[in-house]
Structure 1
Amino acid sequence: MFDAHLHVWDHARSSYGWLTGAPEILRRDHLIEEARGALMPWGVDRAVLVQADETMAETDYLLDLVAADPLVVGAVVYLPLEDPATVAEQMAASRPGVVGVRNLTHDRPDPDWILGADQRRSLELIEAAGLPLDYVATLPRHRENLLTLAQEQPGLTFVLDHLGTPPAQPDQRDGAWQQWQEQIAALAALPNVVAKVSGIYDAGGPVTPEHMRTVLAAALDAFGADRLLVGSDWPVCTAFGGAEATMRVLLAEVDRLPGDQRYALREGTAARVYGLDA
């Protein structure tokens, strides 16, 4: 299985300032050796690391792991999108192991930050390099902005992390749930947007099978299996019951699907989107 959304962090390599406000279980180091032990029982034999800090030091750390650890086949790294000169320099360097770019857009005070002129220039450079952009959306406004960018830049593949953060309690009568469904349907209408089935939690605890089934059904209806990727979101999942609870529920629902759809979610889509061997 291909884990399309794995984090690691090492405070000796980067600062991870956001962890000061995170659940205590997340504040310590979470290294690749621990990730392997948590995920291999679920059949994970390849993984893409996804940035968890906005420093070039963390980018170097992730690429060191790509070079050193056979589990890690690529990294979605941080680059300063507000600084297109640095992005251009990094694109020209063609650093081995880079399979995508991401910023912590959801942690920025301005939800419209990604629409800035410098950021858009950086996205043009990322497109020219043939890389996708992972995008975190926790607010409706974040999802609106992704729709704008994907419409204006059809040659760039956008990877919507965590399905754009569906509401923690799916309820067809709830306006937030309806809005999320409408927004992912609009995003899925654009062929350059794909989405990760990852980071799906109930409020304060692990996701229930019923919740996961509802969310996955909505995602499949919008995107289809060949535009969905499965990710563990380790170690964030440890704050919501752990890898065992998360992966058991997620994979049980994925494995209800026909074989070609299971393959797409478990391996095929991730390999295609990140330019890796299937």
Structure 2
Amino acid sequence: MIVIDAHLHVWDPARADYDWLGPAMAPINRAMRFTDARPALKATEVTASVLVQAADNDADTDHMLATAATHPEVVAVVAWVPLDDPGRARSRLAQLRCDPHMVGVRALIHEKPDPEWIVRPHVGKGLALLAARDLTFDYVTASPGALRQVPELAARHPELRLVIDHLGKPPIGGDREEHARWRKLLTAAAHHPQVHAKVSGLYSARGPLDSWTTDTVRPFFEDALELFGPHRLMYGGDWPISLLAGGHRRTWETCAELLAGLGPDDRAAVLGGTAARFYRIDPTLLNAARDATV
């Protein structure tokens, strides 16, 4: 079984702008390279990784693709293109599609001044370009409320494969009412079969980022498992953000504990099968990653 980390970041502030890397991110506000991640990955069962954009600019995407070209463990890249400028997006996609690692697109929706940005008509034209090219879209949010837009996106773009990063940031450490609101929003999103979700970034929504425990995460994971099933869930380690939330090994061990009750086929789906199928990762790249980590 090949284990895929479906959510890993690399960045270099000397090569691209990362406006969100403020004082709270001081320990990781520096170049974070795949070579830095490798020891953390070796402490897990991961054999292949998907790099996910961390800035809405071309330089970040170019940095990820350059990393993928020199590290066989990297099997896919979720890039950025200017979805709100369909003409530029079309040209950029023509360039990026030449690289076999290019599988999808993400934008930092939660950083946009306009909370309705992702459902604006001109952005919809950009999303339609992804669907037409069999590319995916990672939907990221900083709070559960933005999940209300996912069903609308899924209905407008039924051919576009969508994945909700970090289970839509559930209110871990919150109260029952917050949990119920998150579950209701996730239920509506899961109703659409092309929508998937990542078991990643499940940190405390209240207090210190590292104050979560397996027991506080478990109810949200169990809800997601019930709503999506294992074949629409995928594991993501969220390195290097995980370093601020108790350490990468801790997040991996928690995931392993959460999956312990699943049968072999279901566990294999969450740990790699879903990601490989959703992102349509090139089998040649998967074989190269397996060989590199033997």
Partner of 2:69: 67
CA distance in 1, matches of 2:197, 2:170: 12
1:8 paired residue among 2, 10, 13: 10
Partner of 1:95: 98
- Shift in Å at residue 258 of structure 1? 1.1
Query: Is residue 231 of structure 2 the alignment partner of residue 226 of structure 1?
Result: yes
Partner of 2:292: none
2:36 paired residue among 34, 40, 50: 34
- Shift in Å at residue 109 of structure 1? 2.2
2:156 paired residue among 143, 152, 155: 152
Counting aligned pairs with the same residue, the percent is 38
Query: Is residue 180 of structure 2 the alignment partner of residue 175 of structure 1?
Result: no
Partner of 1:242: 247
Larger mean CA deviation between 192-201 and 18-27 belongs to 18-27
CA distance in 2, matches of 1:12, 1:138: 26
Q: How many matched pairs?
A: 276
- Shift in Å at residue 256 of structure 1? 2.6
2:143 paired residue among 139, 142, 149: 139
2:58 paired residue among 56, 70, 74: 56
Alpha carbons 2:172, 2:217 under 8 Å: kept: no
Q: Which has the higher contact order (CA 8 A, sep 6+)?
A: 2
Instruction: Please report the RMSD computed on the Cα atoms of aligned residues, expressed in angstroms.
Output: 1.4
**SS of the counterpart of 2:193?**
coil
Read off the aligned partner of 1:5 and give its amino acid letter. Answer: H
Read off the aligned partner of 2:98 and give its amino acid letter. Answer: R
- Shift in Å at residue 253 of structure 1? 1.2
Partner of 1:189: 191
Partner of 2:291: none
CA distance in 2, matches of 1:194, 1:215: 15
CA distance in 1, matches of 2:217, 2:4: 19
- Shift in Å at residue 64 of structure 1? 0.9
Q: Which runs of no fewer than 5 residues in structure 2 stay unpaired?
A: 287-294
2:132 paired residue among 128, 132, 137: 128
Alpha carbons 2:144, 2:169 under 8 Å: kept: no
Read off the aligned partner of 1:88 and give its amino acid letter. Answer: R
- Shift in Å at residue 255 of structure 1? 2.8
Read off the aligned partner of 1:166 and give its amino acid letter. Answer: P
CA distance in 2, matches of 1:236, 1:139: 16
CA distance in 1, matches of 2:151, 2:93: 25
CA distance in 2, matches of 1:254, 1:210: 13
CA distance in 1, matches of 2:124, 2:23: 30
Read off the aligned partner of 2:214 and give its amino acid letter. Answer: P
- Shift in Å at residue 226 of structure 1? 0.2
TM-score for both structures, normalised by structure 1: 0.95
CA distance in 1, matches of 2:145, 2:23: 23
2:117 paired residue among 110, 113, 122: 113
**SS of the counterpart of 1:23?**
helix
Alpha carbons 1:170, 1:214 under 8 Å: kept: no
**SS of the counterpart of 2:159?**
coil
**SS of the counterpart of 1:10?**
coil
1:252 paired residue among 249, 257, 281: 257
CA distance in 1, matches of 2:22, 2:144: 26
**SS of the counterpart of 1:47?**
strand
CA distance in 2, matches of 1:259, 1:23: 37
**SS of the counterpart of 2:197?**
strand
CA distance in 2, matches of 1:72, 1:22: 28
Partner of 2:290: none
CA distance in 1, matches of 2:246, 2:17: 25
Q: Which runs of no fewer than 5 residues in structure 1 stay unpaired?
A: none
Larger mean CA deviation between 225-234 and 5-14 belongs to 5-14
